[in-house]
Amino acid sequence: TDALEVEFATAQLDAYAAASHGWFFWTYSDGQDHWDIETCFENGWLPHGLRRPALALSTAKGVSSAAASDAEALPRCAPPGQYPQSFGADQLRRPAHQRPSPAEAAERVAQAAALAEATGRSQAEATEALTACDFDGEAAVARLLARVSV
- Tell whether 79 is covered by a domain: no
Q: What is the pTM for the complete model shown? A: 0.37
- Tell whether 123 is covered by a domain: yes
pLDDT at res. 93: 56
- Distance between CA atoms of residues 127 and 10, nearest Å: 24
pLDDT at res. 42: 80
pLDDT at res. 100: 74
Number of domains in the chain: 2
pLDDT at res. 124: 87
- Same domain for 89 and 65: no
Instruction: List Cα–Cα distances, 25 to 16, 96, 114, in angstroms.
Output: 10, 27, 29
- Same domain for 91 and 55: no
Looking at 36, 71, 106, the residue that finishes a domain is: 71
- Tell whether 80 is covered by a domain: no
- Same domain for 17 and 60: yes
- Same domain for 19 and 62: yes
- pLDDT by residue (tens digit) across 42-88? 888 777 666 544 444 444 445 455 545 544 555 555 555 554 444 45
What is the extent of the structural domain holding 35? 2-71
- Tell whether 25 is covered by a domain: yes
- Same domain for 104 and 62: no
Chain mean pLDDT for the chain: 69
- Same domain for 57 and 17: yes
Confidence of residue 40 (pLDDT cuts 50, 70, 90): confident
If we measure between CA atoms, which residue out of 35, 39, 48, 38 comes closest to residue 8? 35
Q: Tell whether the model's pLDDT for residue 99 goes beyond 50.
A: yes
- Same domain for 10 and 66: yes
- Tell whether 78 is covered by a domain: no
Q: Tell whether the model's pLDDT for residue 133 goes beyond 60.
A: yes
- Same domain for 67 and 7: yes
